[in-house]
Structure 1
Amino acid sequence: MNDSPPLSPLAQAFSQGPAWFPQQMDAATDRVLLVRMSEDAYRTASFLDQRMLTQQSQPQWADWAELETADQSTRRDAHWILHIGHVGSTLISRLLGELNGLFALREPQMLRNFADLAADRGEPHAIWPPDLHDARLETAVGWLSRTFSQDDRALIKASSFVSEIAKPLIGTERKALMLSVSPARYIETILAGDNSRQELAVLASQRLRRLHARLGSADWELWNLSEPVRAAMSWLSEILALDEARSGVSDAHVHWLDFDAFLADPVDNLAEIARFFGIDPDTMAIAALVDGPIMTQYSKAPEHGYSRDVRESLLAEARKAHADGIADALTWLKDAADRHAAVAAVLDRHMPVNMGT
């Protein structure tokens, strides 16, 4: 005899598939915020975080345990786009989302919640014991793996700092596209925009904390780092997180790509990414996508125009305006490589030619 209480109408609706999306969780109260989403809403959304919350999305809280009971899906097969930030991940996600067989989701807030919790995993003050944390992360991957068509595969573009939990996200069967650029290009990109500079100011402290934890020593004080050096430090913090996640994962499950290399030959690179994710690309469809409006829009706000030429112009301006600061930042990276073998190794892998490109 089953004495379990009946499921609420919300939990029953959640069990039917991705029309109710688990937008975020409150770990302290074991609740999940669900929002109503159509397939087209997923397709157009640049972010699945707090910026998507409107009255039209009908946000409603539900108990984690009830949702776990309601969800009978066995899918845990989402693939990933992981990146260091400002490296075309949204653009590539939008392009791939137009291909048959892939269902693109961008920056689910719940993954950020788990990345925050992971910093305390195993600590006495953690909200959950390690085994429950790991099990719930896998449950969340399952919820995010749900698609409207069983023939589709979810492709999730995470936020950059979600790379701290990249290894369990990939697991043993899922695949990840890992996107980066060289340090110089990354620094130029950050310094080229007001929004990226503001983001740098907000995230620099967290990134330095993560970098120190990964290297096992506190070598630098944030207040002594200039803005360009903070950008270099951010590149290093994020690339080391991805590089660590890459270790121990089969080569068949990770595809590294430099965004500048992608832009140099987007048709062939997009086709190669599609094949990596198990999609047999239609050459004409790929070419049409590359020649279409997605490549000339600002991916995070498609109502605004943006193109490769515009990007190059902005980067050239930043390179000229901040030449001395960028040189100092690259010198800082060289000094960090002299101090730490892990930094030297990652620079050698991701910048084998020289520090200025």
Structure 2
Amino acid sequence: MSSGPSAQEIWKDATWLAQAVDPRAGLVRLVEMTPDDYREASFLDDRMFQQRPRITHLVPWASVLGSAPSNPRRDARWIFHISHVGSTLIARLLGEIEGVLSVREPRALRDLTFFPAEVRARFIPLVQALFSRSFTPDGAALIKATSFVSEIAAELIPDNGKALFLYTTPKSFIPGILAGENSRKELAGRAEQRMARLANRGVQLPPPRHEADLAAAAWASEMVALQTVSNAEVRWADFDTVLEDMRGSLTWMAEFFGFDASKKRLEEIATGPLTRRYSKATQYEYSPELRRELLAEAGRTHRADIDSALAMLDAASETAPLLRKALDRAQAES
């Protein structure tokens, strides 16, 4: 049995995904991937192993570090988001541009969030290099992180790097969460973590009264984290606004990231089948029209709770400048 890929194999291209990292044990899990594997996988966390068997190797972190080129690329582009705001769709669509490798939610980035900043600092430079590999010399990697990885976005994006921050207004986000069974299940499980993250950034929310309050806290925790990023070139995008002009949005996103794509190709992508499928499971149909219908229905069903949750956020922002900044951004889009 092979002991793992050689240094040359690891660094020549993105074949060996750094899927998971364990700073405590000093190990990294490498998973063999093809361009089609990246294209098909909605997520690159451990759910990827449910799809089919994959070739994996646990490799000492020190050996990967020691084999790295003296000046590796660290020019991956990044997508951070607040969850349930179309980030998988946008990452898929941009990944249809020739030469762009779309890497969606690798577990390794999540792993780093569970360690203190001084530990992360020893790992992040190499993580940036590993996730900047592509399959062609002039290719580019686009990394979409899991929503709560926004907490360390400022550390992951190199100075002067480029990142897209996707969000929706709380008026759209809260009913969007309440419209989905899986998203509602997630609320209670992460409530304590989100409250702690907010408190660490000077935001105090009262105890939640209902699911709408939990969804409001989810919105606030991710938005406030992203508001702290100041070391990178960032473009913010409201997903509902993006849906109104997908072709125009993909055009400015491609230009911002420096992806080379013709107007014709961007129009093909914007009007292609991916925009009419549920991007996390493309066998299911899902359209902007269906999204609007679901949001409207949840808004009617939970109107009183949503209104009280919005009022809660507004009241809390009186003593929390970062939350006020996030709400002002959202209100500018309303």
Answer whether TM exceeds 0.5 for this pair: yes
Of residues 202, 206, 213, the one that matches 1:229 is: 213
Please state if 1:39 is matched with 2:20: no
Which residue is 2:19 aligned to?
Answer: 23
Partner amino acid, structure 2, of 1:24? A
Gaps of 5+ in 1: 1-6, 122-129
Please state if 1:324 is matched with 2:304: yes
Task: Give yes or no for contact 1:105–1:157 (8 Å, CA) kept in 2.
Answer: yes
Q: After TM superposition, which residue ranges in structure 1, 4 or more long, deviate above 4 angstroms?
A: none
Task: Give yes or no for contact 1:80–1:155 (8 Å, CA) kept in 2.
Answer: yes
What's the offset of the Cα at 1:163? 0.9
Which residue is 1:93 aligned to?
Answer: 91
Q: In structure 2, how many angstroms separate the alpha carbons of the residues matched to 1:9 and 1:331?
A: 55
Please state if 1:79 is matched with 2:77: yes
Which residue is 1:295 aligned to?
Answer: 275
Please state if 1:347 is matched with 2:327: yes
Q: In structure 1, how many angstroms separate the alpha carbons of the residues matched to 2:219 and 2:96?
A: 30
Please state if 1:158 is matched with 2:145: yes
Partner amino acid, structure 1, of 2:72? T
Which residue is 1:126 aligned to?
Answer: none
SS of the residue 1:60 aligns to: strand
Task: Give yes or no for contact 2:28–2:61 (8 Å, CA) kept in 1.
Answer: yes
Inter-CA distance 262–328: structure 2 relative to 1 (3 Å threshold) = same
What's the offset of the Cα at 1:206? 1.1
Task: Give yes or no for contact 2:18–2:31 (8 Å, CA) kept in 1.
Answer: yes
Of residues 48, 58, 62, the one that matches 2:59 is: 62
Task: Give yes or no for contact 1:23–1:48 (8 Å, CA) kept in 2.
Answer: yes
Inter-CA distance 35–348: structure 2 relative to 1 (3 Å threshold) = same
Task: Give TM-score, length-normalised by structure 2.
Answer: 0.94
What CA RMSD, in Å, does the superposition of the two structures yield over aligned residues? 1.8
Q: In structure 2, how many angstroms separate the alpha carbons of the residues matched to 1:316 and 1:219?
A: 26
Which residue is 1:10 aligned to?
Answer: 5
Q: In structure 2, how many angstroms separate the alpha carbons of the residues matched to 1:329 and 1:266?
A: 30
Partner amino acid, structure 2, of 1:305? E
Gaps of 5+ in 2: none
Of residues 258, 269, 273, the one that matches 2:238 is: 258
Of residues 38, 45, 48, the one that matches 1:49 is: 45
Task: Give yes or no for contact 1:11–1:62 (8 Å, CA) kept in 2.
Answer: no
What's the offset of the Cα at 1:337? 1.6
Q: In structure 1, how many angstroms separate the alpha carbons of the residues matched to 2:168 and 2:205?
A: 25
Please state if 1:205 is matched with 2:212: no
Partner amino acid, structure 1, of 2:54? S
Q: In structure 1, how many angstroms separate the alpha carbons of the residues matched to 2:12 and 2:178?
A: 45
Partner amino acid, structure 2, of 1:166? A
Q: In structure 1, how many angstroms separate the alpha carbons of the residues matched to 2:216 and 2:31?
A: 37
Inter-CA distance 18–182: structure 2 relative to 1 (3 Å threshold) = same
Q: In structure 1, how many angstroms separate the alpha carbons of the residues matched to 2:13 and 2:247?
A: 33
Please state if 1:240 is matched with 2:224: yes
What's the offset of the Cα at 1:218? 4.8
What's the offset of the Cα at 1:219? 4.7
Task: Give yes or no for contact 2:74–2:132 (8 Å, CA) kept in 1.
Answer: yes
What's the offset of the Cα at 1:8? 4.8
Q: In structure 2, how many angstroms separate the alpha carbons of the residues matched to 1:189 and 1:101?
A: 33
Partner amino acid, structure 2, of 1:47? F
Number of aligned residue pairs: 330
Partner amino acid, structure 2, of 1:242? L
Q: In structure 1, how many angstroms separate the alpha carbons of the residues matched to 2:295 and 2:3?
A: 53
Which residue is 2:318 aligned to?
Answer: 338
Which residue is 2:101 aligned to?
Answer: 103
What's the offset of the Cα at 1:344? 2.1
Q: Output one character per residue of 1:20-59: Cα deviation in whole Å (capped at 9) or x when no partner.
A: 1111012221111111111110111110101012562122
SS of the residue 2:247 aligns to: helix
What's the offset of the Cα at 1:111? 0.4
What's the offset of the Cα at 1:136? 1.3
Task: Give TM-score, length-normalised by structure 1.
Answer: 0.88
SS of the residue 1:149 aligns to: coil
Which residue is 1:220 aligned to?
Answer: 206
Q: In structure 1, how many angstroms separate the alpha carbons of the residues matched to 2:139 and 2:209?
A: 46
Task: Give yes or no for contact 2:76–2:128 (8 Å, CA) kept in 1.
Answer: yes
Inter-CA distance 281–101: structure 2 relative to 1 (3 Å threshold) = same
